[in-house]
Amino acid sequence: MVGRAKNIAVPTLLINGINEVASGDAVKPFVEEIPNLKHITLDGTTHSPNVERTDDYMRILGEFLTTS
């Protein structure tokens, strides 16, 4: 997907945990390439921020869906 992510033509939400494999350098190419991207890294979470911080995750998702 690196090099092709720039072709994503819809608003995109990327949520990841701060203490997981898909953080920092792993998501950097997508953060840099995807236009109209909202990127949120949730502190205190690993690969399952939707389970570890459900209320925050759902609030972020709801805001994205109603404003994008």
Hey, how many other C-beta atoms are within 10 angstroms of the C-beta on 65? 10
Query: Where does residue 45 rank: exposed (0-12), middle (13-18), buried (19+ CB within 10 A)?
Result: buried
Query: Where does residue 13 rank: exposed (0-12), middle (13-18), buried (19+ CB within 10 A)?
Result: middle
pLDDT in tens, 38-52: 999 998 888 889 999
Residue type at 20 in one-letter notation? E
pTM of the full predicted structure?
0.83
pLDDT at residue 57, rounded to an integer: 96
Cβ neighbours for 29, distance < 8 A, ≥ 6 positions apart = 2, 5
pLDDT at residue 17, rounded to an integer: 86
pLDDT at residue 56, rounded to an integer: 96
pLDDT in tens, 6-32: 999 999 999 988 888 767 788 889 999
